[in-house]
Amino acid sequence: MISKTQLISRCLESGRSATPQRMSIIDELGSASKNLSAYELRDLLNDKGYSFNISTIYRVLDFWIDIGVVHKMDSSNTYLVCNDSHTHHFHVLLHCTSCKSVQESCQLSEQLSLPNSNKFAVNDSQAVEINGVCNKCQ
């Protein structure tokens, strides 16, 4: 996970602040050993004494997605922290359908080429999911 200083810099670069809510939610998500749903994240934080409602969790997750710090796994409706510090990038998320682990591949994304790339600008912080079975589960 990127450092707190980098997180705060990303917030400031986006013209927004690093609020205590934003920081506590990203800290919890970053310390998780797996990708989490918004409800799992809320329950973990509430167990630690926070009292976030689910709309706050979703709003903060959307904020971190917008500035390229968090990826959403659409197939499982879960979230994970981006494992590199690039601000403009395209990621391939390798999702194991057996153990539910996710590996982020920046190298694989660099190998992908888009047709007519000079006529098509990819939005920042894109992620593509590829489902399969990881080495541990094979």
Beta carbons within 8 Å of 107's beta carbon, 6+ residues apart: none
Is residue 63 included in any domain, yes or no? yes
Is residue 94 included in any domain, yes or no? no
pLDDT reported for residue 37: 96
Is residue 132 included in any domain, yes or no? no
* Domain around 58: 4-70
CA–CA separation, 40 and 38 (whole Å): 6
pLDDT reported for residue 82: 81
Residues of the chain with pLDDT under 70: 1, 84-90, 106-126
Which CB contacts under 8 angstroms, 24+ apart, belong to 41-50? 41/79, 50/24
* Number of structural domains in the chain: 1
Is residue 138 included in any domain, yes or no? no
What's the pTM value of the predicted model, to 2 decimals?
0.76
What CATH number is associated with residue 41?
1.10.10.10
pLDDT reported for residue 103: 79
Is residue 75 included in any domain, yes or no? no
pLDDT reported for residue 10: 85
pLDDT reported for residue 74: 83
Is residue 127 included in any domain, yes or no? no
Is residue 81 included in any domain, yes or no? no
Is residue 42 included in any domain, yes or no? yes
134 labelled as ligand-binding? Answer: yes
pLDDT reported for residue 96: 87
pLDDT reported for residue 6: 84
Which CB contacts under 8 angstroms, 24+ apart, belong to 9-12? 10/67, 10/68, 10/69, 10/87, 11/67
pLDDT reported for residue 118: 60
99 labelled as ligand-binding? Answer: no
